[in-house]
Every structure is written in structure tokens, then in C-alpha cells.
Structure 1
Amino acid sequence: MLKRISTLALFLIITIAVFAQAPERNVSVSEKMATPDSLLNKKLNSFYFNDSLNRIRLFAWNVSSYTNIPTRIKLDTGQRNVQRVYPFYEMDNVGAVYLGNIGSATVNLDFFKNVAKTPFFFQNVYTPFLSTPDDVKFYNTKVPYSRVRYVTAGNRTNAEEIFGLTLAQNVSPSLSFGINYDRWGTKGMYKRQRSKTKDFSAYASYLGKKYTAYAGYIYNLADVQENGGVADEKEIRDTVIKPEYINIKLRNASNIVRNNTFFLSQTYGVQLSNSENFTKNGIYSGPLLLVGMYSKYATYHRIYKDDMSEVDQIKYYNNFYIDPKISYDSTRLREIDNRFYAQIRPYTDNSLLNLFGGGIGYQNLKYYMFNFRDYLYGNKSTTNYNAYVYGYASGKFRKYIDWNAFGKLVLAGYNSGDIDTKGTASFSIYPWEKEVKLVGEFKFKTETPDFYISNFFSNHFKWNNNFERVVDTRVELKLDIPFLDLEIGARQAVVDGYIYFAKDTLPKQAGSVISVTSAYLKKNLAIGHLHLDGQVLFQKSSKKDILPLPAIAANVAVYYQFNIVKNVLKSQLGVDVKYNSAYYTYAYNPAVGQFHLQNVRKVGNYPWMDAFANFKWKRAALFFKVTNIGKDYVGDYDYFSALGYPRVPIQLQYGLTWSFYD
């Protein structure tokens, strides 16, 4: 413990020395982020950003890989919910089913948040810990910017650590570089629970008057020991055996999933009007023609290993197709994706039709997995391709209406005939000069099942399926009232041909339509110094035996907020409560790396409570947290997440986040 605290202190001293920040006087947030006049001589001049951003010291955005259109994202500089350090709790979520150790496989409790982010089927269980080109955060800053985060818990034998680092620097108003790095790791409270998960991205961006470009590299890693869960849940639920002495099902198994991605996006703009009415402070905002391209090269690799030869290894797998003792299952995917597109801004940014465009693309996918024929013919891969077209449009009317639409059709290849469409519209009114927004969203998607869902061979599992195309229709309506910190939403999904992993861990396709109905409430209620901040989710599946979901899930913080030193040191003291109703949660199989159905027992109805203390000093946020404080007071010790996978019984966790931009 002392060694880690000393390491953290040394790291902070070095970081402060490199990115030293000047003493901070008592000023407003907007004044802190404003740029001194001395820096305004160097202006950003880009058709994607308006002139008002030249007075902001630092801003960030994501970029759509289909349109190259940036979307501003909010910078987190406060202390609100800083104690929520697991990604599936901190990313506006009610939680997830996971294996009890940070960095392990997960599936969200909220059905609508389970979205495949990559084309590699085996990587998507690690979605909260990975990033894609659409997730990379780009920064434009007048001064060097850095943000560090360090979180630790447990002792030397079962330590859990989270580390994050962001560095951003502008060489000129147009040219910037940066890196984002996050690492989640633990030695594990239980046997064979070590995990090491990493997400690294480096980028360069250029925002010119006519030319815009983004280039980047992404590395994702999930290196996780697999223990198959505890051998007997009663050793946790009915006894007080220490975690390190509890028996597990697998003694020597692991999963490693790696991903390397390179991407490049370029756009060139041509002005369609010479009128001075469209130019303000040197930035053009009138009719515009944009042409561009996007290229991506990515490799994905998964290795599952186990050794079942130990004498005291219990029987876990029923089948051994290659070797009765040792497994080494390797699956790979190489992806090349190129797109060319054109866009037209017929009027101005504030027009009811402010952009429309489209493009063509070609995706090449090369798959590999071992098969017995490799002994005769060598390693043989399978190559698929997709040729597709897509289009999009957007517009707004003053501050009252905002809409956008996207559609994609695969013309030829493995996914020929697949359709992906999405439309969103928002309507705002301003009673008492404060915004109230109603947002509606519609999605329709038809998708050919993934290659590895259709074909798979390994030591313990094999299948060859001919599933029908999945048809997924979704509708969402939400009411957002920012000045009340309130959001209410309702969602409906209808899925025909839903694919799932059955109790035998083999993929199956539902023979009838499945519907999911969901409603949620998000609210930050403040009564004086007392705050209630969180969200509650209600959802119902029409086929609980195929798509099990908790009827209720909640992630709520109750805390008392006050100033220890006015305008200098703020504090929050409170309790985090996470809860989901009992249901037949998923089991997990390491050899396939997927969650599957089970009917052994229901899991849930356990209020998980964490006591925390948060402190905010200037740009530093510090927290201390004791997890699962209700362990001895809320009935039996049924704090499982997936079947056979308990969460941490009780633990002290603390961490620090510090931003520097002076």
C-alpha cells in the first residue's frame, strides 16, 4: 500500500513539473476557459467550427467515420460521480453483468446499450474498455493540456488499479496532436482472476480553411485469466471463507484479445458563393461542396488457452475435438475499409436543410481459424467483401428544430442486401427562456449473421449454421429538461431472428419475434446541500427464456455536498446504490468468450452500496470509497453478477483525477 501511494505521489510531482499550472484565482468556469486576448491573434479558421470557439481555451470532439462531421463533447472538469470508475457505471449506465474483476467480459443490463462496436465478434464483450475511430477524442487547445487519473484498491496480493492519461498539444491553431491511454487491471480477489485491459489511441488532426484531415492509431488489449467461476456458490453465500481459499472451476485458462487499427480521414471544401454575407471574422459559413475519403486498416486476434491435465481439475468441458488435455484456439480477422463521399451544404449551418451527401465504400474481411484441413493444405483463410453505398442529411431551424438521417445499403458481398437506417429529430421550446427538448429516434436494421456465428471450430466447440437475416426495429422518445436536470425516456425494440447463446453455449436463432419495452428516468435532485443523482430503468422482454432482462435496474447516488473552504475545496459525502431485480442472469463460457442462457437460479435483488467521500480542489478531484458496505446487513451474501461469478466482497478504493491546461 505504501509503495503504491509513493508511486502515485512521485508520478504527480513529475506531471506537475512538466505541465505546471499557475496559481488559480477565484473566477467563474467560463472565465477559466476563455482565452486571453493575447492568444486571439492566432485563430482557428475551419468550415466545421464557428468563430466563437476561438475564445475557448480548450474544446474536444469526436468525428464520424462516415461523414467526417465533428460532434462536440463535454469536458469533465467537475467532481460529480468521480467515484464511479468502472466504465459501465460512469458512462451514463445502470450497470452490467461482468465476471467480478475489472477488465473482464461484460454485457449491459440495459438491452439498448448492447451494441457491437467492431466487426470482430469475440471482442465485443469488452466494449466498455475499447475504442474505435468514432470514439477517439480530438482536442484543440491554446495551451498544453493533460489529464491524469489513478485509482487503486485492495492490498498487494489482490490489488486493482486503473490508470488514465490524456495529452494534447496544438502546434498551430489548425494542427494538433494527442494521445489517450486507459488501463484497467487487477490481480484478483479470487483465484485465477488477473486481468489487464488497455485502450490506447494517438492522433494528429488538421483543421484548415479548406482542407481537414484526421489520422490515428488505436491499440486495444484484453488479457484475462479465466477461472470458470466458483466451484460452489455456497462457499460464498452460506460461509465466511476468505476469497483466496474458495475453489474455482478452471485452474489454467486464459483469453487474450488484441486489436490494432490505423485510420485516415480527409475532406476538401470548395466555397459555392463569394458573397461577404457568409463570412464572419474570416470564417466562411455559406454554401459549400465537400469531397473526402476515409481509410481503415485493422487486425484482430483472439487466443484462448487452457490446460485440463491437472489431476484435481474438475470436468468443465464436455467436448475435446483436437486435444484432450490442452487447448490453443486462435481466431483472426483483418479488415480493410475504404470510403469516398461528397457533401453539399446548400445554404448555411442554420438552414432547415444544412447538409446532404453520400458515399460509396468497399470493405474486405479476411478470417482465420484452425481446421483439420490445415494439416493437409496449410493455414487457409476465408475472405469476404462488402460493397456498399450510404447517404445522410441534416438540418435545423434556428434553435427550435434539429434533425438528421442516415442510411446504408450493402449492394454486393457477404452482407449483400443488409440495410442500416437511423433518423433523429428534436424539438425545443423555451418557457421562461429555458430549454425543454423533445427528441425522437427511429432505427431500422437488417443484418446477416456474423461469420463466426455461422462458422466456428475449436477444441471444445464447433458449429456450422445457416441463420436467417436479423431484422431489428427500434423507436425511442425522450423528454430532456436541462434546467431541471431531468430526462425521461421510453424505448421499444422489435427483433425478428434474434440470435443468442443457449444453455449448451451454442448459438441459436429465435423462431419468432421478440420485443423489448423500456422506460427510464434520470434526475439530479438537489434540496439544499442534499443531492439525489442517478437513473432508474424499467424494461420487459417478451421472451424471458431467450432474452432475460432485469425488470428494474438502478444506479443512484445520495450525497451531501458542501464547501470545506469556499471557492477552493468542495466535498461530497454519500452512498452509491446499485440495484437490479432478480432474474435468470447470464452464465459465461471462457472457451467461446460469450455469455449464455442458464436456468439454474435467479440472481439479483441485492442492493450494492458503496460509501464515498469526494473532494474537489481547483482542477483535482480525489475520492475515497468503501465498496459493498451492506454485505453483512442485506441478507445472504448473494452479490453475484454472472452465474458463479461473485463481485468483490468489501474493499477500500481511492483515486485522483487532475487536469492541467495552463
Structure 2
Amino acid sequence: MGDFNDMNFQTPGGIGANPFQTEEGPLDSARMDTTKKERKPLESYFFNDSIRSQNNFAWNINMSMNRIEMTRIDTILYDFQVDYPFLKKDVGDAYLGNLGAPSIPLGFYDRPQFRDFQMAQPLYSYLYTPESAPFYNVKKPLTQLGYITAGQRQYAEENISILHAQNITPSTGFNVTYHTMGTRGIYMNQATRDTDFSLGVSHNGKRYTGYAGYIFNTIRMQENGGVVDDWYITGVKKERPFEIPFMLSDARNILKNNTFYTFHSYGIPLRRLTDDDFSMAGVPAIYVGYSLQYDSWNRVYTDTYSGMQTPSKDGGSADAPVPTTPFYEHWYFNGTASRDSTFESKLSNRLFVQLQPWDRDAIVGTVDAGVGLDAHRYYQFRQQDYLTGNMKPVKKESFYVYGAVDGKFKKYFQWNGKLRYVPLGYRQHDLDAEANATLSVYFKEHPVSLTGRFSYSLHEPSYWSQTFSSNHFIWNNSFRKENETRLEVKLTAPTVNAEAAFYQSVLGNRVYYGANAMPSQALHAVSVTGVYARKDFRIGGLHLNHRVLLQWSTDQQVVPVPLVSAYISYFFEFDAVRDVLRLKIGVDGRYNTKYYAFGYNPATGQFYNQRAQQIGGYPMLDVYIAAKWKRMRILLKVAHLSEDFFNTREYFQVLHYPLNKRVFKIGISWGFYD
């Protein structure tokens, strides 16, 4: 999880980002009690008057700097019908077909690059991190319960979420979030169960800010290796999907993550505070801070040789196609069963200062500087350990420095820049540099914003792409540092719900997983270009929303991308009963052109670039009815309605992994504010 990404500024929403929204309600009136001391209000410099006036609001913290980023509390119908988390942004992901399984964004610019514990990268959308786990400020205790289920009981899909947030004082509060999702699997050996838990405590005072939290992520997956032959999906219709043969019958992956973190900052005003200074946001100040984060990851992969499909003596036939080779070519340590275990931990300590020369909204609002030390520990069962029986850790440390500057001129111009460099230790000479600027003009108070971003990165490849030892794969690589130069330009017009963007990246020494499912490095430059457009039309209650992404890669063997990816959402939203019941009836569609889409290997837990078969060209359609009845949201949905609509059943997005068949879903989300 890239350290430099932890340094994000509060910039305008990303491509396809949802608008910031919260549910507002009137404050309860209370009689003045002169015998009780009035509670101290929320005076934190992080929040302006418009945010403080809201009944409930949420934000994410930055573990490297004294910054936060506002986020929204999900209480409206905006994208309630999209129940898979990796499909909520932009044009969505390619995925294995079921909830809880790995996925990878269709858009190259959205693809995560985990520098730590790379095996968790395909599961990015399910994971809580200190930067993605939200904190809350609520006038009344907030509780949200959500439940979505689909399919018959024997292969049911479930998505359960629980949130409780409560403030002890206007400045101090805590929150607990619990999320579990998964499926028993429509197809054989497809069961998943992902469970995420986050506990956070926050204090946002006038001078002192403090956060502490604990996160637990666990993901359990049966791995079926994909269908034995696509013909079982495309050539013959099986009424009972569990009769379709898959490559693996008893393979499993289990990932567990524990994260502890704490963040502290103290502000020192550079002039004396007066009664007119409600917060320190408007006075020159210096903030000093410290953050600590400990992450541990463990992954165990198991399988047996007897649980794999093997070729028949007579070969395959049209009635019973079979593979020509076993799923795994090598069995290095044990010829009958595998139990591969990998472990990684990282302890991060950071000290930082932030200078606020005038006020936080000045042309030079804040100037940041910090130092950090990361201590890494890696464990895996290697060949020498097999002989000695003693598994020793690999220990590495990195010392880095970083800085940033941020400012704005009224509502017309915002800018920032940031830099991170590793002078000593592991990942020595890694570098990240970035500059952003946004110019806004207003036409009758309607904003139009032009944003430019330039970045350069130089990174040591992931430890696991260089060294890996397992029953099926062993590699020892000495890769050069990867580099990327990226230019982004974005034009947004929120009033007319329109957005356009252009991206250009030049990649050097790109590390990728090739057709043999093993990491390789391209020693030539690869260029990736993207053009994105979003336009939402509204005619009364009728909404016609469109997102389209065009992409070009100069080397599809290194960076495969579809030429066209699109997402449409057409719906009619109206008040069935004014201020009581609101309805939303619509259809969602997703499509991408054919390309050499990714394969997935369970033993490495990674997507790889394959050249055997082009995949795509299949439209996925969902229809739904969503309702908001007071504080309850209700969903009725038919997913994959388009099955058998277009005279093709090539519904694959990853090689040999079919998407789920047509299924009916029902769900509720209920919010309590007392």
C-alpha cells in the first residue's frame, strides 16, 4: 500500500467520484439549563462553519501529515443499487464473478500498486486501512444496519454491514464498523467470506488532535482455478451450475491483517489567540505531530494434487472437454499437497511539523515537513528452510523524508506540491514528486474547474515480486527500480453534471506478471493514454448517466487495457409520498471491448497477463427498484438480467472465470439517529 499515497491532499473529487453528501435533519431543541456548564463546541481548525453546522459528517485522516479529507456518509439512493464495492467507481473492475473474490480495475489509472504485501492487492476494494476507515462527528448517536442477500440458500450471497458512531463531546467521539460479505458460490468451489472490522477514537480540539484505531481484515476463499473448458459455459447450457467442472476442488486462500495506529498533533499559535479566534484556522501557527502504524499480514494457500483435474487417457471430446495438462506444472516440496505460508509486517514511525504562515486558506496555507522510519519483516518457507527446518525472517529498514506545500486564492485557485525521498536503507533513492493546480471560473455562480496534475515516481519493486518460494512457484529476481511519469488534465462542470479528463503515463522498467504467472520486467518504455468522459442528463425525474473510458497501451503484453469501457445508469427517481417515500427505478449497464484480459493464479494470488484468448464484448445489464422510506433504504434487483439476451454466453472478464448467472437480490439499510 504505497506510502506516498498516504500523503493525499484534500483535492477535488477524482474521476467519477461521488458528490459529498450527508443526510440533514433538524436539531432537537433543548431548554437552557443555567445550572449546567455549557459543553465546549467543536473548535478544530480542520472544519469550517458549513461543516460544523451539519448534524453528521465524516472524514479520513492522513497518517503522514496534519491533514484530513472529507468523505460522505452513505444514506441516500445515489448508488445504493451497486452492491459490489469494486463497481462503484468509474467504469468498474474485471473480477472473478462472485462477491468477495479478487478484482482489478479496467482503468489503468485506478489500478492499485501495493508496495507492501502484494498478495492483498487484488482484494483492495474490501480492505480497511487507516486512510480509508472513516471517522465521524455526530450530534446524536448514529447506527446503520445493512443487509443484502441473493440466490437460493445452497449458494446464497450475503452482504452485512454495521456502523455505530457516537460523540462523547462535540470534539471527542468513537466509531465501530463491521462488514462481512461473501457467497457459498453459484459454481463449484467458489465460496468466499470477507470480514472487516474497524474501531476508531478521535479528538479534534482547538490545539490538540488525536486519533487511535484498530483494524482487522480477514479474507477466506475457495479457489476453483476457473472452468475446465469455456465450452461448458458458451457451448452448452447447464441448468445446474454446480455440475460444471472446474480445475481445482480443494484449494483455498486465507489472508489475515491486523493494523494498530495512532496519530497526534499539537498546535502552537504564533500570535496570541483572542475571543474572536474561534479556531486556529485563521491565525499563524506551527503544528508538531507524531504517528505510529503497525501492520501485519499473513497468507496461507493450500491444495492437493488429487483435488486437481487431470487429462483423461483418451483425451477430450465435444461432450466432455478436458485440459491437456494439470493446473500446476511444478510441485517443488511436496508432490501430493501444498501449504504455502507468507508473512509480512511493517512498523512505521513518523515525526512531522506543519507551518501555517497566515491562515489555512491563504495563497500559502500550509507548509509540511517530516521524517519517517519503516521497519519491514518478511517470512516465507524457502528451499534452505526446507533443509534446515528453521524459517528466519528477512529484516529491512527504510529512512525517508518528505514535505509538502498547499494553498489557495479564495475560491478561484488551489495548488499543492509534495515530495518524498528515501536517502537510506531498503528502497534507497525511491522518489515521489507531485504537483497539482486547479483553476475555477464561475458563470452566474456556477463553477467550471480545470485541474492539472504532474507526477514522477521511482520505486523499488515489491519484495514478493523479487523473492518468492512456494510449492508451485519459485523465483529470485533482481529487478531495476520502476519509474512512471504521469500527466493528468481534468475539466469538471458540476452544475451540468459533466466531466472530461485526459491521462498520459510513460512507464519505465515496468514489473508485471507474464503468461507463465511469474513476474517479469519490461526494459523498454511503455506508454498508456486514457480519455475519460462523464455526462449525466436529467429530464424531470428521468436520469441518463454515462461514463466512458478510452485507453491505449503501446504494449498490451505489459499493460493490457480494453480500448473502450463504459458504464450507464438510466433511472427514474421520484417522491411516491412526499417527504416519506422516494422511489428509484432503473437499469445499469456495463461493457468493455475485447482484449487480452487478465488471468488469475490462486497459488500466487495475482492477476497475470495472458495472450491465449481475447475476452470482452459482453454487455451486463441489471434492473432494480430502490426506495427510501424515511430512514430505511430498500433494494430489489435482478443482476445479470442480460443472460441469454444477446445470443452469446461469453460472460467472462477474467480468463476461464465466468460471471455469476442471473440472480435476484433483496436488501435493506436502516439508519438510527438516537
Q: TM-score, normalised by structure 2?
A: 0.91
Contact kept, 8 Å, 1:35 with 1:55, in 2: the verdict is no
Paired residue for 1:193? 190
Question: 1:461 & 1:483 partners in 2: Cα distance?
Answer: 53
**Deviation at 1:116?**
2.8
Paired residue for 1:22? none
**Deviation at 1:377?**
6.0
Q: 2:491 aligns with which of 467, 479, 485?
A: 479
**Deviation at 1:74?**
2.2
Is 1:544 aligned with 2:556? yes
**Deviation at 1:534?**
3.5
Paired residue for 1:511? 523
Question: 2:196 & 2:666 partners in 1: Cα distance?
Answer: 22
Deviating above 4 A after TM superposition, structure 1's stretches of 4 or more consecutive aligned residues are: 28-31, 33-42, 310-314
Is 1:32 aligned with 2:25? yes
CA pair 643-387 structure 1, distance change in 2 beyond 3 A: same
What SS class does the counterpart of residue 130 from structure 2 fall into?
coil
**Deviation at 1:245?**
0.3
Please give the residue correspondences for 1:75-86 in structure 2 after superposition, counting only pairs within 5 Å: 75-86=73-84
**Deviation at 1:294?**
0.7
**Deviation at 1:310?**
4.6
Question: 1:516 & 1:383 partners in 2: Cα distance?
Answer: 35
Contact kept, 8 Å, 2:22 with 2:74, in 1: the verdict is no
Is 1:370 aligned with 2:381? yes
Paired residue for 2:479? 467
**Deviation at 1:174?**
1.5
Paired residue for 2:320? none
Contact kept, 8 Å, 2:24 with 2:55, in 1: the verdict is no
Paired residue for 2:86? 88
Question: 2:309 & 2:591 partners in 1: Cα distance?
Answer: 37
Identity value in percent: 35
Contact kept, 8 Å, 2:159 with 2:182, in 1: the verdict is yes
Please give the residue correspondences for 1:478-627 in structure 2 after superposition, counting only pairs within 5 Å: 478-627=490-639
CA pair 284-566 structure 1, distance change in 2 beyond 3 A: closer
CA pair 98-29 structure 1, distance change in 2 beyond 3 A: closer
Q: 1:104 aligns with which of 92, 101, 106?
A: 101
What SS class does the counterpart of residue 444 from structure 2 fall into?
helix
Contact kept, 8 Å, 1:118 with 1:132, in 2: the verdict is no
What SS class does the counterpart of residue 293 from structure 1 fall into?
strand
Contact kept, 8 Å, 2:216 with 2:256, in 1: the verdict is yes
Paired residue for 1:154? 151
What SS class does the counterpart of residue 452 from structure 1 fall into?
helix
Paired residue for 2:314? none
Is 1:208 aligned with 2:201? no
What SS class does the counterpart of residue 212 from structure 1 fall into?
strand
Please give the residue correspondences for 1:104-503 in structure 2 after superposition, counting only pairs within 5 Å: 104-117=101-114, 119-241=116-238, 242-274=240-272, 276=274, 279-281=276-278, 285-310=282-307, 313=310, 315-374=326-385, 375-376=387-388, 378-503=390-515
**Deviation at 1:425?**
1.2
Question: 2:220 & 2:164 partners in 1: Cα distance?
Answer: 25
Question: 1:583 & 1:47 partners in 2: Cα distance?
Answer: 49
**Deviation at 1:284?**
5.5
Work out the number of aligned pairs and report it.
633
Counterpart residue type for residue 100 of structure 2: G
What SS class does the counterpart of residue 551 from structure 2 fall into?
strand
Counterpart residue type for residue 305 of structure 2: M
Counterpart residue type for residue 72 of structure 2: K
Contact kept, 8 Å, 2:246 with 2:309, in 1: the verdict is no
Paired residue for 1:20? none
Counterpart residue type for residue 304 of structure 1: Y
Contact kept, 8 Å, 1:403 with 1:426, in 2: the verdict is yes
Contact kept, 8 Å, 1:392 with 1:407, in 2: the verdict is yes
**Deviation at 1:53?**
3.7
Question: 1:587 & 1:123 partners in 2: Cα distance?
Answer: 16
Q: Deviations over 1:411-458 (max 9, x none)?
A: 111100000122221111111111111111122110011111111111
Contact kept, 8 Å, 1:35 with 1:57, in 2: the verdict is no
Question: 2:178 & 2:415 partners in 1: Cα distance?
Answer: 34
Structure 1 runs not aligned, ≥5 long:
1-27
CA pair 539-300 structure 1, distance change in 2 beyond 3 A: same
**Deviation at 1:57?**
1.4
Question: 1:564 & 1:509 partners in 2: Cα distance?
Answer: 58
Question: 2:30 & 2:496 partners in 1: Cα distance?
Answer: 35
Please give the residue correspondences for 1:54-69 in structure 2 after superposition, counting only pairs within 5 Å: 54-69=52-67
Question: 2:23 & 2:293 partners in 1: Cα distance?
Answer: 38
CA pair 284-554 structure 1, distance change in 2 beyond 3 A: closer
Question: 2:92 & 2:607 partners in 1: Cα distance?
Answer: 16
What SS class does the counterpart of residue 248 from structure 2 fall into?
coil
| Root mean square deviation of aligned Cα | 1.8
Contact kept, 8 Å, 1:35 with 1:56, in 2: the verdict is no
**Deviation at 1:313?**
5.0
Q: Please, which moves more after superposition, 111-120 or 36-45?
A: 36-45
**Deviation at 1:464?**
0.7
Q: Deviations over 1:81-101 (max 9, x none)?
A: 2110111112x2312121111
Q: TM-score, normalised by structure 1?
A: 0.93
Contact kept, 8 Å, 2:285 with 2:356, in 1: the verdict is yes
Counterpart residue type for residue 261 of structure 1: T
Paired residue for 1:647? 659
Contact kept, 8 Å, 2:269 with 2:280, in 1: the verdict is no
What SS class does the counterpart of residue 88 from structure 1 fall into?
helix
Contact kept, 8 Å, 2:354 with 2:368, in 1: the verdict is yes
Question: 1:66 & 1:311 partners in 2: Cα distance?
Answer: 47
Contact kept, 8 Å, 2:115 with 2:461, in 1: the verdict is no
What SS class does the counterpart of residue 157 from structure 1 fall into?
helix
Q: Deviations over 1:193-241 (max 9, x none)?
A: 0001122111000111211110001111111000000101111101111
